[in-house]
Structure 1
Amino acid sequence: MSEEQKELMEFPCRFPIKVMGEQHPDFHPTIFEVVRLHAPDLDITDIVARDSSSGRYVSLTITVTAMSREQLDDIYRALSSHSLVKFAL
C-alpha cells in the first residue's frame, strides 16, 4: 500500500475482508475464531457467506472494526497462513 493510500484510511473504521476456501463444515466457525483473535468485538452477524455456483467453494465477507493498519495486517497474515483458506483479500 502506498503512503498516499495509507493516509486515506482513518481508524477506527469498518473494513470488509473477503476470505475464500473450499466448502468444509468447519470453514465458517474456524475463520470466525481466527479473525476474532485479532478483532475481539467481531460478531457472527458481521459475516456474510456466499457459495460458488458449483457449490465447491465458499466466500466469506467479514466486516471488522479496524483500529489500526497493524491489526489488519495481523488478520491478513493469520488468514493467509491458515490451511482452510485459499485466498484472503
Structure 2
Amino acid sequence: MTEQAKLKDLLEFPCQLSYKVMGYAKPELPELILAVIQRHAPGDYSPTVRPSGKGTYHAVSVTITATSIEQVDILYKELGEIDIVRMVL
C-alpha cells in the first residue's frame, strides 16, 4: 500500500490539517509559506513562528482546511521547494 493511499484512508475530507515548515530564520519565511498556501487553500491564516534554540531556524505552523489528498500532496511538494525551507512536516 502506498503512503498516499494510507493517508487518504486515514483522512476524511474536508478536515483540519496542520503544516509545520522549518526553514532558515529569515523575515520572509512566513510570507513565502503563506503565498504557497493561499494558491491552493485560500483563507485567512495566522501562522505561529517559533525560533530554534540557537535562532538559526524558524518553525512556522499553519492549519488549513484540506479538501483533498491531492491538495495535501501539492502543498507538501511546493512548500518543500521554497529555497529557504529545510523540512515540511
Q: TM-score with structure 2 length normalisation?
A: 0.89
- Partner of residue 61, structure 2: 61
- How many residues in Structure 1 have an aligned counterpart in Structure 2? 87
Give the distance between the partners of 2:64 and 2:4, measured in 1 at CA: 22
Q: Structure 2 regions of 5+ residues with no counterpart?
A: none
Q: How does 1:6-85 map to 2 (within 5 A)?
A: 6-41=8-43, 43-45=44-46, 47-85=47-85
Give the distance between the partners of 1:67 and 1:9, measured in 2 at CA: 10
Encode CA deviations 1:7-50: one digit per residue, 9 max, x unaligned.
22100000011100011111111111111111112x232x1111
Q: Secondary structure at the match of 2:40?
A: coil
CA drift of 1:2 comes to 6.0
Q: Percent identity?
A: 37
- Find runs of 4+ consecutive structure 1 residues off by over 6 angstroms: none
Q: What amino acid is aligned across from residue 12 of structure 1 in structure 2?
A: P
Give the distance between the partners of 1:8 and 1:44, measured in 2 at CA: 24
Q: How well do the aligned residues superpose, as a CA RMSD in angstroms? A: 1.4
Q: Structure 1 regions of 5+ residues with no counterpart?
A: none
Q: What amino acid is aligned across from residue 76 of structure 2 in structure 1?
A: Y
TM-aligned CA distance change 1:6 to 1:53, over 3 Å:
same
